[in-house]
Amino acid sequence: MDHVISGVAKFQKEVFPKNKATFEKLANGQNPEVLFITCADSRIDPNLVTQTGPGDLFICRNAGNIVPPHTTHTGGMTASIEFAVAALGVSHIIICGHSDCGAMKGALAPDSLDTLPHVKEWLGHCRCATEVVKEKHGDLSADYLDEVTKENVLQQMQHIRTHPAVAAKLATKQVQLHGWVYDIESGDVLCYDEKAEAFKLLQDVYGGKPFGEKR
């Protein structure tokens, strides 16, 4: 905890003064371009990975980068997605999974979560991903962790399309949806290429063009 407290002091003394104009502007509102949905895992830092600053990303985090399908039941993810898309007007949505994901390990072995009933229920939103992988291989094991991680991103992309605000913006091409997987050890970011129906390195999908302008 000491390093957290000292970090705040360093921010106030060194970082904030250098960026005072930015924070003065942000004090009166926000205008993020991207809704970034990722895992709550402590090893994931969206701003660090994307080299963005305050105000650039509207970030939603939870175990497993999950987007529950839209229902009439209001939840934190549903409200945040609606606000980002309908009120803030983001033009891109990224759902980003990551390597060595504990949530995906739990999804692969739900019986191991009996002492974590809320986690087990939450990860029920990943069942489509595990069922797809099981159908392909005939079984489920830790060997398929990377495959389940990628499939889970695809399934959450399907889920977010059921949210009315997102569906409307996708239909009118005001929003683009992206599926990413971040590799912690290598620093690589894999992006889903819809034409190839496969995850490829970010640079191969976007080809160095401005964000969202695919080849």
Annotated binding-site ranges for Zn(2+):
39, 41, 98, 101
Q: Write out the two tokens for 176.
A: 């683009």
Helix (H, G, I), strand (E, B) or coil at 180: strand
Residues in binding site:
39, 41, 98, 101
| Spatial contact of 95 and 175, defined as CB atoms under 8 Å apart | no
CA distance 31 to 55: 7
Sign of the torsion angle spanned by Cα atoms 116, 134, 40, 27: negative
Kindly list the distances between the CA atom of residue 43 and the CA atoms of 93, 101, 190, in Å, as whole numbers in the listed order.
21, 10, 17
Residues in the chain: 215
Sign of the torsion angle spanned by Cα atoms 57, 61, 64, 67: negative
**Beta-carbon count within 10 A of 191 CB:** 21
Helix (H, G, I), strand (E, B) or coil at 33: coil
Q: Which residues neighbour 203 within 8 Å (Cβ) at sequence distance 6 or greater? A: none
